[in-house]
Structure 1
Amino acid sequence: MMMRPVTEHKGCSASAKTGQASCGSAADQGKLPTEIWEKVKNHPCYSEDAHHYYARMHVAVAPACNIQCNYCNRKYDCANESRPGVVSEKLTPEQAVRKVIAVATTIPQMTVLGIAGPGDALANPEKTFKTFELVTKAAPDIKLCLSTNGLALPDYVDTIVKAKIDHVTITINTIDPEIGAKIYPWIFFNHKRHTGVEAARILAHRQLQGLEMLSNRGILCKINSVMIPNINDEHLIQVNKAVTSRGAFLHNIMPLISAPEHGTAFGLKGQRGPTTQELKAVQDACEGQISMMRHCRQCRADAVGLLGDDRSAEFTTEQVMKMEVRYDLEMRKAYQKRMENKRLSKVAVGQKELTETCGEMSGITLLVAVATKGSELINEHFGHAKEFLVYELSTSGPKFIGPRRVEGYCQGGYGEEDRLSAIMREIGDCHAVFVAKIGGCPKSNLIKAGIEPIDQFAHEFIEKSMIAWFRSYLGKVKRGEIQHVQRGKDEPRFGDRISVA
């Protein structure tokens, strides 16, 4: 399979100064061309920084699917379940646009509308493109996104361009038909069901063909890949190379969700998902010419709100029909301008700390966890956190590693010891955890485990606080007040088993 040269402006190159991707974690334009920056600066999925400020929503107008995946079961629904493909109710295009207006009025930082199922957007083309048409007329400032498995993608590239859809996500788990046969039982293509290696070969060809066609038309493409241990984990490096060479903008490698109660084929046969360390290792191995998305929350197909803060339960069809909605474009613009000013303030506050830290000479890198409710602030109580954001700190600055979900430790005023143990396992490779507040019991247990609880930066900006603490940490090491111990060295690492060459 031939690969064309990488299209220079498509990928997110790393900064020579910080080693960070210019669109993955930076709050400013960096080296991105202006036309690309305008597309991603307030897109919570395409910009790691933007997801702290801007919201997205998915409308479930596409129930049918043209492939079967061993990790998918669209029949399951639960208010607390966040797997892709899960929805509480399906919508018509007309119901969807009313819901969009209701959400955009209530949540003015909602900037992106996506269609991600619960089946495949392009297996339901009439409903999908009718919804986009209605939304464009009613809310012209909202960005349009489409997620697809890619099987039908080459047939709809012209329609996507005509609909002014700037962002497309394609799920590509493998480019090897032998591996694909272990992931996809069947596909339905050209009025015929295909199975096994033949089905996987057709799917991979159509996915890469569609990606290249979109890239050549200036559409930003994000690639989703589900990491399945002992099936496609090592192979994902080859997937990364293939999608990069065809102009993909962002690569999101996600962990397999395979609990038996979800009723998926993988879950029922005991296929495990990757550990957080395994996931990080393959993401690190793939990072290079293309930026890795590390802030994914693997959203439901009817998700609403900020990533990590789903508010879909507030916007059922029954509730939306009762709401008085009026789309106020000027109000939305004013609100989002305030959001941008807030982001700029954060950048200015952290720049002095980063400049001073960059002057340090140290090869020390370490991980820290942060409890936050959003807005890039350390503003969550340790016991109330349902996820921790993990960052890697070095003298080049902080690098976002990803979220780690946990069950809240505090339950009705008391702590669950089993949950505390589970939380400590999730952040056990971290040197410190930043919180707004923490109780005495978890604090002492964290200290015993070698994890420093830090609450002196409560309600301050995450990046500024991490950099200040890290500079202080380096000073203590330099003065001999503490001895740096590298955490997680004894844990098995995916990267130890692979070659990045």
Structure 2
Amino acid sequence: MTTSISHPCFGPTARASVGRVHLPVAPKTYARTRFAPATKLPAAMMPEDAVALLDELIASGKKIKVVGITGPGDPLADFDATYRTLKMVREKYPRMTLCLTTLGLGGEKYAAKLAELKISHITVLVDAVDSATAENIYAWIRPSTKNIPLPEASKLLIEEQSASIKAFKEAGLTVKVNTTIYHENVAQIENIALTMKELGADILGLPFFIPEKDSEFSTVENEAVATARELAAKHIELMDPWPRCGASTELKAPTSNSLPKPSNRRPNVAVASSSGMDIDLHLGHARRILIYGPREDGLACLLEARQAPEPGGGGSRWEKLAEILDDCFVLLCAAAGDNPQKILAANGIRTVISEENVEGTVDVLYGGGKKGKCKK
């Protein structure tokens, strides 16, 4: 069965000409499969920072038509960040196609709010419809802040995914299900397809697992994959041949390509550092802020130190800091709470979390030392 749904992210219209950008604003994850490397989750961006970078891409001439939230964690694990991002994009770019990818935990309570934003579609990652198979696929599932036994968590995952898909459909959303084919679930693919169709899902994607080099795991044989697709197609429409979402641009935090840039109005960098050597202070603990910027000869150097507002005062403290740093385009610190980051971002100041060397990081922000380093 070929794809008949008209959509910029799947089907006959999905070609490389469709520009898509993923905004990495989801900081938390719900689960990890046994096949994923046990690495630390990459840092997420603040919604305001991600939207600012989207603005930069569009201003530079990139033809972005689709904005998705797919990571680095699960978009529903911190719904406030996801909703805030999508709402800002919708208000700035009313014709933009919006989507997200989720494991589906907690989706039932967020379906209506996502529908209000006219989300194009939601992709739900469903690799099993029975808890025994889920136990063989996942290393852990953590629906909340507390660990629960995998057998119990697997049952909860199956229940939550079913409830979420139903809720998404009742809210009028298009639901795409992605099922990765592993040895552990290849025999269950037809049952997954049938179950997803009964729940109301619109389309099913069937990528197959590709292990990393020298991995102990192996890919399912092509013949088994073909059989699984053939059986699934009897019950639900399939991606054809498999996702072609168009030209994709990932915004990751922070990289040399995604870091903020100085402007005529905001030429300077603010740094929370106890010694001037390393970025080592939590923003809330900083009593003074070091200001780096270009001298008359264009070299970036330490210009001065400014007194930070006294602790206390809630949001007004960060509004005052934004005034103090009104000529800065970025603030470097070892850590910062969500509220100060939101307020600073709203005032045009990006917050970048880092524990690197001050001089080296400042150097990167001004182009990687192409003009040379400041001699004190």
Q: Which amino acid aligns with 2:27?
A: P
- Per-residue CA deviations over 1:94-113 (Å, capped at 9, x if unaligned) read 11101222233445542111
Partners of 2:103 and 2:253 in 1: CA distance: 27
**Residue 273 of structure 1 is aligned with which of 211, 219, 222?**
219
Partners of 1:282 and 1:102 in 2: CA distance: 43
Q: Which residue of 2 aligns with 1:164?
A: 118
Partners of 2:135 and 2:252 in 1: CA distance: 40
2:233 is the counterpart of 1:287: yes
**Residue 146 of structure 2 is aligned with which of 184, 189, 192?**
192
Partners of 1:314 and 1:159 in 2: CA distance: 26
Q: Which residue of 2 aligns with 1:123?
A: 77
Partners of 2:144 and 2:164 in 1: CA distance: 16
Q: CA deviation at 1:255?
A: 1.0
TM-score, normalised with respect to structure 2: 0.63
Indicate conservation of the 8 Å contact 2:3/2:12, yes or no: no
Partners of 1:129 and 1:164 in 2: CA distance: 12
Paired residues for 1:210-249 under 5 Å: 210-229=164-183, 231-249=184-202
Partners of 2:167 and 2:251 in 1: CA distance: 37
Q: Which moved more, 1:159-168 or 1:315-324?
A: 315-324
- Per-residue CA deviations over 1:156-199 (Å, capped at 9, x if unaligned) read 11221223223100000001111111112332235532223221
Q: Which residue of 1 aligns with 2:35?
A: 71
Decide whether aligned partners of structure 1 residues 50 and 109 sit closer, same or farther in structure 2, where only a CA change above 3 A counts: farther
In structure 2, the residue corresponding to 1:150 is in which secondary structure? coil
Decide whether aligned partners of structure 1 residues 104 and 237 sit closer, same or farther in structure 2, where only a CA change above 3 A counts: farther
Paired residues for 1:254-265 under 5 Å: 254-259=207-212
2:76 is the counterpart of 1:112: no
Q: Which moved more, 1:99-108 or 1:153-162?
A: 99-108
Q: CA deviation at 1:224?
A: 0.7
Indicate conservation of the 8 Å contact 1:122/1:152, yes or no: yes
Q: Which residue of 1 aligns with 2:314?
A: none
Q: Which residue of 1 aligns with 2:203?
A: 250
Q: CA deviation at 1:252?
A: 0.6
Decide whether aligned partners of structure 1 residues 247 and 131 sit closer, same or farther in structure 2, where only a CA change above 3 A counts: same
Q: Which residue of 2 aligns with 1:322?
A: 261
2:134 is the counterpart of 1:152: no
Indicate conservation of the 8 Å contact 1:170/1:224, yes or no: yes
Partners of 1:214 and 1:313 in 2: CA distance: 27
Indicate conservation of the 8 Å contact 2:76/2:106, yes or no: yes
TM-score, normalised with respect to structure 1: 0.48
Indicate conservation of the 8 Å contact 2:29/2:73, yes or no: yes
Partners of 1:317 and 1:275 in 2: CA distance: 37
Paired residues for 1:254-403 under 5 Å: 254-259=207-212, 267=215, 270-296=216-242, 307=246, 310-312=248-250, 318-319=256-257, 321-322=260-261
In structure 2, the residue corresponding to 1:271 is in which secondary structure? coil
Q: Which residue of 2 aligns with 1:183?
A: 137
- Per-residue CA deviations over 1:295-334 (Å, capped at 9, x if unaligned) read 5469xxxxxxx64x5554899765453399xxxxxxxxxx
Decide whether aligned partners of structure 1 residues 317 and 192 sit closer, same or farther in structure 2, where only a CA change above 3 A counts: closer
Q: Which amino acid aligns with 1:71?
A: F
Decide whether aligned partners of structure 1 residues 139 and 180 sit closer, same or farther in structure 2, where only a CA change above 3 A counts: same
Partners of 1:311 and 1:74 in 2: CA distance: 25
Partners of 2:197 and 2:105 in 1: CA distance: 19
Indicate conservation of the 8 Å contact 2:180/2:206, yes or no: yes
Partners of 1:56 and 1:74 in 2: CA distance: 28
Q: CA deviation at 1:67?
A: 1.9
Indicate conservation of the 8 Å contact 1:92/1:127, yes or no: yes
**Residue 47 of structure 1 is aligned with which of 11, 36, 50?**
11
In structure 2, the residue corresponding to 1:129 is in which secondary structure? helix
Aligned-pair RMSD on alpha carbons? 2.8
2:23 is the counterpart of 1:59: yes
Q: CA deviation at 1:241?
A: 0.4
Partners of 1:314 and 1:179 in 2: CA distance: 33
- Per-residue CA deviations over 1:231-266 (Å, capped at 9, x if unaligned) read 1001011010000111111101111132256xxxxx
| Residue-pair matches, total | 262
Q: CA deviation at 1:57?
A: 1.2
Q: CA deviation at 1:155?
A: 2.3
In structure 2, the residue corresponding to 1:99 is in which secondary structure? helix
Identity of aligned residues (%): 22
Partners of 2:27 and 2:83 in 1: CA distance: 14
- Per-residue CA deviations over 1:19-70 (Å, capped at 9, x if unaligned) read x4323xxxxxxxxxxxxx4xx2xx1x22243224312111111121122321
Partners of 1:115 and 1:316 in 2: CA distance: 17
In structure 2, the residue corresponding to 1:111 is in which secondary structure? strand
- Per-residue CA deviations over 1:363-392 (Å, capped at 9, x if unaligned) read xxxxxxxxxxxxxxxxxxxxxxxxxxxxxx
Partners of 1:281 and 1:167 in 2: CA distance: 28
Indicate conservation of the 8 Å contact 1:74/1:118, yes or no: no
**Residue 48 of structure 2 is aligned with which of 83, 88, 94?**
94
Which runs of 5 or more residues in structure 1 are unaligned? 1-13, 15-19, 24-36, 77-84, 262-266, 299-305, 325-501
Indicate conservation of the 8 Å contact 2:122/2:175, yes or no: yes
Normalized per residue, the structure richer in helix is 1
